[in-house]
Amino acid sequence: MSRLFWLFLSFVFSFVPGLQVYAAQQDSEKSPPSLGENEGVYKYVCPMHPQIVRDHAGTCPICGMDLVKQRFSQMESAPGIQVGSNASQANGSNVGLQQQFSIRTAPAEKHTLWKYIPTFGKVVADETKVIHIHPRASGWISDLSVRNNGDAIKKGELLYRLYSPEIVAAQQDYLQVIQNQRRLGQKASSLADSAKVRLQLLGLDNSTIRRLAKKGVPIHKIPIYAAQTGVVNDLLVQTGMYVQPQTELMSLTDLSTVWVEAEVLPLQQDWLKEGLTVDIKTPAYPGKHWESQIDYVYPSADPVTQAFKVRIPLNNLKQKFKPNMLVETIIYGGPKRNVLAIPLEAVIDDGESKRVVVKTEGGSFKVKKVVTGMQTQGIVEIISGLQPADEVVISGQFLIDSESQIQSNLRRLTGQKPANNAHANH
């Protein structure tokens, strides 16, 4: 089995001739030489799954193959990955191998990052322009002029008529007070005003009250008119239904202005505030855009995405935007100057930590943990972990990072002491 293992390694390195790892290897067919305490240690490794390392012989719990005896050197420094067979290749074939592996680097530099958030938003109704319609007294609906949700109604148009014994009795009281006022003069004016206010509170408008006083007889079916222009929503009644004051008949939504609710992820929330300029576009109207500003930042975050919502008012006189439409929003902020930044593609994010691969002066590569900040337009701010002019790998870094992770796992399993330098854990 050990011969097959080394034949497998020879086959692999025949395709990648220049990749070397600073870990000593020893042919397990030879008897182990006498080693000092810090020179090496023997472990049993699976040929197909090198992360399986044991102190004793056995089989791999993943594939069932026999474990192969292998010696690991006691390295005191972090594993380095070098492209090339020796140090002399750093300026020669090493460059060619880097090109073969598509390894490209970019320096960590000071930048001015413009605060720029491309995100999406949803059109919702302006809640300040929604009215809910209830009857002011119990009665029966007749002459309902709206039949479906979405019907457009203009201010002053008839919504329905209501027959209510309570309203009829209030009209009779009002007519009686008017007759007494004509007989008693100004002494009964206060009673007339009170009776008129009662009718207004029951839902009669001023034109209906004037018509009532002129006719002198009660109006049995009281007309109810729209208080504003809008679209009918939540229609719950039909002609002939008996309703009570707690019954919501419908709602009217004025869509002359709407809100766009956009979501902002945590990375951009530190500079989010009211008054920032927003550009809005939608595929429904190609080539057109609308400009507005954030007028409110909601105080709570989404429990799943941790995103904050912002509210953006939008003029909608031409009724181009409908509730629940999705739109593209771009939020603009001021600049963040003189920050250390690298290309976003250089960052390896596994969900628990963020790493970059840094090229050293000797031509090898090391993995470093970093703390990132603001990111915009393909550039990310580095809060800690890098210094200016550090060369980070922006292409091919996943191959190097994977090799470094395997070596770190093997070193921990073999009980090697961590190095005293800052990069020992990478």
| 3-class secondary structure, 277 | strand
pLDDT > 60? residue 313 = yes
Return the H-helix or E-strand segment holding 297.
Answer: strand 296-301
- Mean pLDDT, the chain, rounded, equals 79
Q: Are residues 213 and 267 in the same domain?
A: no
48 shares its domain with 20: yes
The pLDDT of residue 422 is 40
User: Which of 210, 245, 280 represents a domain boundary (last residue)?
Assistant: 245
In a domain? residue 35: yes
SS3 300: strand
Q: What is the domain extent for residue 318? A: 117-127+255-333
On whether residue 123 sits in a domain, the answer given is yes
DSSP class of residue 59 equals: B
- Specify whether 217 is located in the same domain as 263: no
- Over the stretch 282-307, which tens digit does the pLDDT of each residue have? 999 998 999 999 999 999 888 988 88
pLDDT at position 77: 45
Among residues 290, 309, 333, which one ends one of the domains?
A: 333
**Do 235 and 148 sit in the same domain of this protein?**
yes
For residues 60 and 16, membership in a common domain is answered with: yes
Residue 90 in this model has a pLDDT that exceeds 70: no
Average the pLDDT over 16-41 and give the result. Answer: 42
- 171 with 232, same domain? yes
Query: 189-201 and 165-184 helices cross at what angle (nearest 10)?
Result: 160
Q: Per the domain annotation, does 411 fall within a domain?
A: no
Residues 123 and 140 both lie in one domain: no
Structural tokens at position 242: 């008996």
Whole-number Å distance between alpha carbons of 354 and 382: 11
Is residue 19 very low, low, confident or very high in pLDDT (cuts 50, 70, 90)? very low
CB 268 within 8 A of CB 330: no
Q: Has this prediction a pTM greater than 0.75?
A: no
Q: Is there a single domain that holds both residue 225 and residue 278?
A: no
Number of domains in the chain: 3
CB 315 within 8 A of CB 352: no
Any domain includes 186:
yes
State how far the alpha carbon of 128 is from the alpha carbons of 82, 247, 258, 310, 313, in Å.
65, 21, 10, 16, 11
CATH assignment at residue 326: 2.40.30.170
Amino acid occupying residue 271: W
The C-alpha angle 370, 373, 374, rounded to 5 degrees, equals 145
Instruction: Say yes or no to pLDDT of 26 above 50.
Output: no
pLDDT digits (tens, 9 = 90+) for 337-373: 899 999 988 888 877 788 888 888 877 888 888 999 8
